[in-house]
A and B are shown apart, each in its own frame.
Chain A
């Protein structure tokens, strides 16, 4: 009889456990917060207590801070996250950096900011430190203040313009009603111009961040050890970490972003220089060549996200930036080489109830007036009759770029595939012949 209440109590406990199972356990941890340069931009990650190694690209500025935060595992995305809303205590102190042979070096925290200025290439990252950082931030603030001032002036002028427009319209209407001559007023109305809208500052692709302090690590390739000393000169418990500074193995190779006409939201990338693009030929392709660099897979993944996985024995190509003003030479199996230039395109929804869209040339004067193109790409028409299309990417001076060659092969299901299966059975046929001959020899 006692068993029933115990069973009920256990069941209730199980239900309670299930109710609270979704809440991840948050644990206070000392972490290294890392803002690392990944070859194309700066991205943040963190090294929790269990992570014994921090991975950084060599010979570039990387920023590291130390803090106490809540850390938890988020099972939905299968990764570790920080909860800084409740606990975020940054520490100030010094970082001891020791290499394999060199004497340990004590690093202090340095004020810094970083930004990307507009240029011909996308990669124009600058890091400003100390007074230079303050100056860069000040310059940006002044630029933005001036912009907001011009926005304010614009709205003032716009209001005056609209008031004047309104007043003139009312006057003209009244005068017309009274049968008076309004031609002078109409001329005034025509000459009235709306004030120009101020342009957002275009100096930066990524504006400077507010000046903050961090340990700046710009290390040659190698392995290092770090540990954190508090302001009082005490070693922070469990602050020892290994740092792996790594570099790219190869650079300036060309990758291709391939956008199929029917899947423009799902582009694929052709990165390996010897790779072949096999397609079914059902739609045209839109290409975008980019420069890429080759890094160790594990190191690169861990640099982007410290708890990520990777393969330490493989190298991977990483997209860095688009090739500016490139040209693509397209050669068909029986046609002469054609030069394809980058063009703007617009993505239109397919008319009717069916889902889908089509990519059409951008028409800025016609039906796409006052709109922005959806993509800038090189259009390569594809048909099922073409079996092989060869591509060669050129730079703006017309030079062929290294590893900028690719093949597109149109694959259509072949009835001749069965021939392969018959060929696969050939050794069996040979076996039967050999065995039959031997059997005949011994029986005769």
Chain B
């Protein structure tokens, strides 16, 4: 056990170092922050004597209309009721989340394919310590980026006389734990497949599937289709990280802090379960592709 922990620690340090000396993480951060800047600046330009009106800014008009069409006017009203930061947080977080998740999945698949993983397991490391190291790297990089994003948005808020709002902070915390579950699914996808392309395809397919199930619950269908869809969604939601994210945010909206933390805890439990399944899969399938 100690040997595995030591191997995980060494591998994680190496992976973190490699991420910090490569350009990818910085580019993803810059894309996220520039998007955040554009969204905050656009919001400020869409304010007149009666408040925020997305029709005043062409980019926001496009965003607003699309969101109203997909999720309804109430969703958009709530999204921007405290300012631009809730929407900005999710948009600015996406590039880094995608970069970290996809790069880890890609590297896992690649190293499996070329036999690097097999080589590692001849030494003190095993496949579990390998993917745990990748997870630790992703968690640490996510935490760094969320802190950078928070500082950036705080400065943008002060400069423009805006405030971040309580929903922003709740989302910031839950987003960190949501990303852990997503990285766990990335590891799971890698453990199931033999190469990078299929690992990325399975990972993106899984995430897309959860998003569709989540969005499907927003859509109103009738009769037989609705019953079928609701039964299907009810089964699937328990393995979807988006379900626990949504659950936690819904509870905190009405002041149920306990349930919010239970949502956070459930995300961690889900991540642990997925990692355990990945561990079993790797054990059963081995490290050779």
Contact = CB atoms under 8 A, between A and B. Distances in A.
Given A427-B29, A434-B21, A316 B50 contact: no
Contacts of B218: 311-313
A79 B97 CA distance: 41
B253 to A, nearest CB: 8
B160 to A, nearest CB: 6
A25 B83 CA distance: 45
A312 B41 contact: no
A52 to B, nearest CB: 5
A182 interface: no
B37 A266 contact: no
Given A409-B163, A424-B33, A278 B47 contact: yes
Contacts of A266: 50
B82 A275 contact: yes
A278 B50 contact: no
Contact of B50 (A268, A298, A409, A434): A268
A260 B49 CA distance: 6
A239 interface: no
A262 B49 CA distance: 8
B159 interface: yes
A298 B34 CA distance: 36
A283 B72 CA distance: 30
Interface stretch (A127-135, A213-221, A355-363, A414-422): A414-422
Nearest to B246: A313
Contact of A423 (B33, B48, B81, B167): B33
B238 interface: no
B234 interface: no
A1 B101 CA distance: 67
B57 to A, nearest CB: 12
A278 B83 contact: yes
A417 B49 contact: no
B5 interface: no
A417 B29 CA distance: 19
Given A311-B218, A312-B220, A313-B217, A430 B152 contact: no
A260 B163 contact: no
Contact-residue bracket for chain B: 35 or more
Contacts of A263: 49-50
Interface string A222-264: 0000000000000000000000000001100000001011110
A55 to B, nearest CB: 11
B47 A311 contact: no
Given A311-B218, A423-B33, A424-B152, A411 B49 contact: no
Nearest to A272: B81
A366 interface: no
Contacts of B268: none
Contacts of B82: 272, 274-276
Nearest to A300: B74
A280 B49 contact: yes
A352 interface: no
A420 B26 contact: no
B232 to A, nearest CB: 15
B61 interface: no
B120 interface: no
Contact of B72 (A276, A281, A311, A411): A311
A96 interface: no
B36 interface: yes
B222 interface: yes
Contact of B49 (A261, A270, A312, A430): A261
Interface string B4-28: 0000000000000000110101110
A371 interface: no
Among A261, A387, A414, A431, which residue has the most Cβ atoms of chain B within 10 A? Answer: A431
Nearest to B215: A313
Given A278-B83, A314-B78, A420-B155, A427 B72 contact: no
B209 interface: no
Contact of B74 (A314, A388, A410, A430): A314
B217 A312 contact: yes
B87 interface: no
A134 B220 CA distance: 42
Given A261-B49, A309-B72, A420 B44 contact: no
Given A276-B163, A413-B44, A419-B159, A271 B77 contact: yes
Interface in B218-255: 218, 220, 222-223, 246, 250, 253-254
- 6 A-B pairs with least C-beta separation: A431-B26, A424-B33, A275-B81, A427-B29, A260-B49, A272-B81
Interface of A: 50-53, 249-250, 258, 260-263, 266-268, 270-272, 274-283, 297-298, 309-316, 387-388, 407, 409-414, 416-417, 419-421, 423-428, 430-431, 434-435, 438
Given A282-B48, A431-B27, 9 more contacts: A268-B50, A268-B51, A274-B165, A274-B166, A276-B81, A278-B162, A282-B49, A314-B75, A421-B37
20 contacts: A52-B222, A260-B49, A266-B50, A274-B82, A276-B81, A278-B52, A280-B49, A309-B72, A311-B75, A312-B218, A313-B218, A410-B161, A414-B44, A420-B159, A424-B33, A424-B152, A427-B27, A427-B29, A428-B26, A431-B27
